[in-house]
Amino acid sequence: MQTSSKKLSKKNQQNITEQFITLLSDLRHPDECEYFFKSFLTKTEQSVFAKRLGIVWMLHQQESYKDIKKKLKVSSATISSIAGQMDDKGTQLIVDKLRVDDWAGRWTKKIMGFFQAKS
């Protein structure tokens, strides 16, 4: 989908943004989120979104621009743009959520390994 050069009125933009935020907040289960993500976003939009999240996490993990560029196939300019947003409230929220998911994933692997070793 291409971006139109015709701008929405501020009121219409605000209304649509509010509807979008309400929709996102109503998605309660991972399956719902996945259906939305795959149905609503184009493959390109999905890739851009996923790469942005990847950049945020990799910057948080203090990975080098070189490694991020290589792993995610993004430019230094893209990384720099996201690096400039790392202190923003929304980006910090993402980092916090990813940190919890990372912690839970590591503990799940440890626990599963413990039970597999016992059997």
Residue 91 counted as domain residue: yes
| Residue type, position 66, single letter | K
How would residue 99 be classed by pLDDT, with cut points 50, 70 and 90? confident
pLDDT digits (tens, 9 = 90+) for 19-28: 999 999 999 8
Residue 63 counted as domain residue: yes
How would residue 2 be classed by pLDDT, with cut points 50, 70 and 90? low
Cα angle vertex 26, ends 20, 29, to 5°? Answer: 125
- Sorted by sequence, the CB contacts under 8 Å of residue 30 that are 6+ apart come out as none
Model confidence, pTM: 0.75
pLDDT at 119: 56
Same-domain check for residues 52 and 110: yes
CA proximity to 102, closest of 113, 94, 112 = 94
| Residue type, position 80, single letter | S
Same-domain check for residues 27 and 85: no
Same-domain check for residues 70 and 107: yes
Mean pLDDT, range 74-81, rounded to an integer: 96
Q: If DSSP codes are grouped into helix, strand and coil, which group holds residue 105?
A: helix
Q: 53 and 94 in contact (C-beta within 8 Å)?
A: yes
The range of the structural domain enclosing residue 67 comes to 47-118
pLDDT digits (tens, 9 = 90+) for 27-75: 989 899 999 999 999 999 999 999 999 999 999 999 999 999 999 999 9
Same-domain check for residues 64 and 111: yes
